[in-house]
Amino acid sequence: MPGQEMRKVHNICVFCGASAGNNPAYVEAAKALGQAMAERGLGLVYGAGNVGLMGELADAVLAEGGRAVGVIPHKLVDRELAHQELAKLYMVSTMHERKAKMHELSDGYIALPGGIGTMEEFFEAVTWRQLGYHDKPIALFNVGGFYDGIDGFFTTMQRHGFLHSDHRDLFFMETDAVRLLDRLAD
């Protein structure tokens, strides 16, 4: 649009599990996403773990010569085995500070499969966008139908009057890393 500067996506915050899950497709998706990000010159901002999908993602970014930045609370450094090869490792006091720092450093969000922490981070990013605290793109990497339930849940919230139809556009779902990054850039 004339007179408006288009937002460029340079650093992507990726939420994902400190576990690899029980489907090898999750690990393959994390690796594919990391590789695609590095090939496009996109920096990774994530929870700094060296295990599970977090570790696979960061290792894939680094293997392709990409840049990975991690943010981790002091309490989780030993528990999550903080990655030691990152371009920058931020250590913070709380989970709230972690999310705030990751938000500050990123231009968009992707959620790979994960557990309660991944869901909490995703929903907070969506809530912040809904309330107008940011306008950064948000995507769910729907590997093997992992996030089909979220899509159904949003339909239920809308049907019962707790979600406006335009709030369905606060995020999108994609099943392929390259298409996901293309849509995130749009």
Q: Can you give the pLDDT at residue 7? A: 53
Q: Can you give the pLDDT at residue 6? A: 45
Q: Amino acid letter at 124?
A: E
List the alpha helices (DSSP H) in the chain. Answer: 24-39, 52-63, 95-105, 116-130, 148-159, 177-185
Of 49, 53, 43, whose CA–CA distance to 13 is shortest? Answer: 43
Give the end-to-end CA distance of the chain in Å, rounded to a whole number.
Answer: 13
Distance of CA 142 to the CA centre of its chain: 12
| Pair of tokens at residue 81 | 């085995």
What Cα–Cα distance (Å) separates residue 74 from each residue in 55, 94, 101? 18, 8, 14
> pLDDT digits over 66-122, tens only?
999 999 999 888 676 899 999 999 999 999 999 999 999 999 999 999 999 999 999
Q: Which domains does the chain have, with CATH numbers?
A: 11-185 (3.40.50.450)
Region of 183 on the Ramachandran plot (φ > 0 left; ψ -120 to 50 alpha; else beta):
alpha
Q: Can you give the pLDDT at residue 166? A: 87
Whether 138 and 174 have beta carbons less than 8 Å apart is answered as: no
- pTM metric for this prediction: 0.93
Q: Can you give the pLDDT at residue 80? A: 65
